[in-house]
Amino acid sequence: MRRVPRIAIVGGGVGGLATALALERRGAEIVVCEQSPAFNEIGAGLNLSPNALMALRVLGVEDQVVALGSESDFLVIRSWKSGRIISRMRRGAFRQQFGAPNLTVHRADLLDVLCGALKTVDLRFGARCIAVEQCDRSGVARLADGSEIEADIIVGADGIHSVVRKTLFGPDAPRFTGCICWRGMAAARALPRDIAVAEGAMWMGPHGHVVHYPVRRGELINIVAHFDSDSWTEESWTRECDVSELTTTYAGWHSDLLRLYPYSARWYKWALYDRDPVERWSKGRVTLLGDSAHAMLPYLGQGAAMALEDACVLSAAIARHANDLDEALLTYERARTPRARAAVLGSRERARENHLASPWSRLKRDVKFAFRERFGRDKTAFQTAWLYGYDVGRELR
């Protein structure tokens, strides 16, 4: 007779909640420990490529997320100075090409959908994990308030500064990329009508690039700017800054960008760090998932997608090997590490091409993009069909 496994998940972000939902749908007993006192509406947009939507389909929440997101026909790549269109990737064809659309969403909206779908999960806010311990046939999460949670499996879904990963494998050694990022969110109705924001856009220039795209059914415009600089080295998503940092940094870029920046009421900045893929994700009955396992640079837009895929594969492995949970974690790790590693390394390679300083190098890159758009078999701008075409549901059948 199969025993219902008890799973403790450290972290209530996208990966943690998706894992809780996937496991709940397979009958597991779930506890989620989230250190924040409540979900807060961090003003962050997320790109959900077709493979992410197919994972949400497995979780049973695809339609709810689509209803709250934004789906544009094109991603338009533009020149930093003239605004000239370098390439127009037709995202509207993704449903037919890959079996699911490309969606841009507000992170808070995605969390709301995932959380709202949970029925039996014990979701504990203000529960900060400070360490985990491996036991013979279980794991223990130790919390800051002195309490403990014992479970058959502990899943570390606690992000890039993962306490679980540090406990298992020691502190990591992130490398500063030399790039600073800023993010803001503007109300679409407040923007001048002559600034095109209905489609996703990417402005590419020397030493930097800027992306903006609609979220929350087009009501908000998420803006993320990247620039090569070593003037700031703090890796934090919540450090506020003044808009003057952007207008100064991007002086000389196209006027539409400079006009767009002041419409965000708040700006946040962080330094971008890179981490090598880890070889192992599990020790004993403790494993990693999402950014804690494979934090990656944002240049392929795969952070959330990889976490959603992880959740589906882990839950299936636990269900398949319910009487041998050690084998379940080994199966999960073997299935996920090659793809996650390829996404990490692919994101790293894209970083170089996005910020070319030489005008000649940028011209060659732009011609390559235009050639791919017209003649290429893989008509995604960054040759990402291998990512987008992955259907985790089909893989699990």
CA atoms within 13 A on the CB side of 178: 7
Q: Give just the sign of the alpha carbon dihedral 140, 141, 144, 148.
A: negative
**Closest to 393 measured CA to CA, from 143, 24, 17, 51:** 51
283: helix, coil or strand? strand
Known catalytic membership, residue 261: no
Catalytic residue among 213, 250, 388, 390: 213
Radius of gyration of the chain (CA): 21
> Which helix (H) or strand (E) covers residue 317, if one does?
helix 303-320
* Dist. CA 93–CA 98, nearest whole Å: 8
Contact 104, 213 (CB under 8 A): yes
Which residues does 181 contact at the CB level (< 8 Å), separation at least 6?
224, 225, 226, 269, 270, 271, 272, 298
Query: Which active-site residues does the annotation give?
Result: 213
